[in-house]
Amino acid sequence: MTYPEVVYGYRANPKNKFGATDQMETLPHKFDPKTLETFARAAAAGTKYGVPELTPQQLANMALHEGRDDYGFNAMNKNNKKANEIANNLIKEGHDYEAAQFAGAIYDKHELADRIKQPFLQVWNGAGKMAKDYAKNSQIESYAAEHPKNQDMLDFISESYKTAKPIPFDPGPEPTFKHGGVVKAIKGNNKLI
Query: pLDDT tens, 12-68?
Result: 888 788 877 888 888 999 999 999 999 999 999 999 999 999 999 999 999 999 999
Rounded average pLDDT over 168-186: 58
> From CA 149, how far away is CA 134, in angstroms rounded?
23
Residue 30: helix, strand or coil by DSSP?
strand
How sure is the predictor about 193, in pLDDT bands with cuts at 50, 70 and 90?
A: very low
Q: With contact defined as beta carbons under 8 Å apart, do 90 and 46 qualify?
A: yes
> From CA 59, how far away is CA 76, in angstroms rounded?
17
Domain membership flag for residue 176: no
- Domain extent, residue 98, equals 7-162
Number of domains in the chain: 1
Domain membership flag for residue 179: no
Domain membership flag for residue 108: yes
Phi, psi torsion values for 191, nearest 5 degrees = -120, 140
Domain membership flag for residue 169: no
Domain membership flag for residue 13: yes
- List, in sequence order, the alpha helices (H) in the chain: 33-46, 56-66, 81-93, 97-116, 120-125, 128-140, 151-162
Domain membership flag for residue 97: yes
Tell me the CA end-to-end span of the chain in Å, nearest whole number: 24
